[in-house]
């Protein structure tokens, strides 16, 4: 593409040569995600992936899409762009494993006010890291330079994941029964939800509070808030390979009150021990600083539990052991009972 350039387009704010430079810089990161099935290289019009359907007599594709949200505002303020890509991948792949599907490929979309190749490559490095953690291929993407639409130093980041599961292994929430157990897996922090409230609580754009250090966090507020979303794919799939998992809930925006009922059938409710589930210090700081009612906290944030598996009582301890053996902090946090669909915190 050495002969591809347009002075007129550049004068309008779009530098196509910067886009080519960004692609060259990101290739090393994309290469980290290569897996059997990947065909071709980045730079084409579409990403090709050859499906290996062995062990799947009735394969079903599962897709998910999401973005990072206003957490990106913190990345702008801190000028740190190499972790938000992990968030982007996490928000997509954590959703599709709730169906029992294994992520296969991921596409990203970056829209920016000005294409700065090094910054774009830094963002993509995080996307690639997320794909490595999820065990999927970064199969392509798009960078759109949009002067006049975004400020020059800002961007948006979204993604799209595709996975596959045999039809016989799709999770069926209707199998959830009274007496089943909820196994919670610890989050890494706020993840990528509730940041409009977080930014309001700390007034981060105006008072520079991101640099304030908290002893209970062991780091600055900004570092704690920017911690990337945990990717649960491999540990959860490890449990699914050994045990019957009836349903899974990814605790995202809407917190416990919105997401747990999505994993329940009618006539079943979850009773959860707040003490057993526990909270992370960052949420105590948010609640105290913002004087936020407890119910609003549990209806906005993950509170320290990023993923919940529902299993039979007889499988609960084994599920915890598998998750802990895979590097997660997991424990039983509640149980299922008959009643109006919803949750009860006690």
Residues comprising the chain, all counted: 346
Domain boundaries, the chain: 7-169, 173-345
Domain 7-169 identical in fold to domain 173-345: no
Q: Answer whether 18's CB lies under 8 Å from 119's CB.
A: no
- Other CB atoms within a 10 A radius of the CB of residue 206 amount to 8
Q: Residue 106 pLDDT > 90, yes or no? A: yes
What is the rounded distance in angstroms from the CA atom of residue 221 to the CA atom of residue 233? 27
Average pLDDT value for residue range 278-302: 97
Residue with tokens 């975004």: 150
Write out the H or E segment, with its range, that includes residue 244.
none
- Other CB atoms within a 10 A radius of the CB of residue 65 amount to 15
We find that the CATH architecture of domain 7-169 is: 2-Layer Sandwich (3.30)
- 329: its two tokens: 């902090």
For residue 74, give the nearest of 192, 245, 242 by alpha carbon: 192
Whether the model clears a pTM of 0.85, i.e. scores above it, the answer is: yes
CATH class label, 173-345 = alpha beta
- Give pLDDT, residue 39: 74
Average pLDDT value for residue range 282-302: 97
- 68: its two tokens: 């990072």
β-sheet bridge partners, residue 214: 219
Average pLDDT value for residue range 142-151: 94
- Give pLDDT, residue 206: 86
Q: Answer whether 157's CB lies under 8 Å from 69's CB.
A: no
């Amino acid at each position: 593409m050495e002969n591809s350039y347009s002075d007129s387009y550049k004068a309008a704010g779009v530098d196509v040569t910067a886009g080519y430079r960004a692609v060259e810089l990101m290739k090393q990161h994309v290469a980290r995600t290569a897996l059997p099935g990947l065909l071709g290289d980045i730079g084409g019009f579409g990403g090709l992936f050859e499906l290996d359907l062995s062990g799947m007599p009735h394969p079903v594709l599962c897709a998910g899409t999401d973005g990072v949200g206003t957490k990106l505002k913190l990345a702008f303020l801190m000028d740190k762009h190499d972790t938000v890509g992990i968030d982007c991948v996490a928000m997509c792949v954590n959703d599709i494993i709730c169906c029992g599907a294994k992520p296969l490929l991921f596409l990203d979309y970056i829209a920016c006010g000005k294409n700065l190749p090094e910054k774009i490559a830094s963002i993509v490095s995080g996307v690639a890291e997320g794909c490595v953690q999820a065990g999927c291929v970064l199969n392509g993407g798009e960078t759109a330079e949009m002067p006049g639409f975004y400020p020059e130093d800002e961007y948006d980041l979204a993604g799209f994941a595709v996975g596959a599961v045999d039809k016989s292994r799709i999770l069926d929430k209707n199998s959830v029964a009274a007496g089943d157990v909820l196994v919670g897996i610890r989050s890494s922090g706020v993840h990528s939800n509730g940041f409009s409230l977080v930014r309001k609580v700390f007034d981060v754009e105006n008072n520079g509070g991101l640099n304030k250090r908290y002893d209970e966090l062991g780091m600055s507020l900004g570092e704690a808030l920017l911690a990337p979303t945990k990717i649960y794919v491999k540990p959860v799939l490890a449990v699914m390979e050994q045990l019957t998992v009836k349903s899974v809930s990814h605790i995202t925006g809407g917190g416990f009150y919105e997401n747990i009922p999505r994993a329940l059938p009618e006539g079943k409710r979850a009773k959860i021990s707040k003490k057993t589930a526990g909270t992370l210090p960052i949420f105590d700081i948010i609640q105290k600083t913002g004087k936020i009612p407890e119910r609003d906290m549990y209806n906005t944030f993950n509170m320290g539990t990023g993923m919940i598996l529902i299993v039979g009582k007889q499988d609960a301890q084994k599920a915890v052991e598998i998750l802990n053996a895979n590097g997660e902090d997991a424990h039983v946090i509640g149980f299922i009972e008959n009643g109006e669909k919803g949750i009860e915190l006690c």
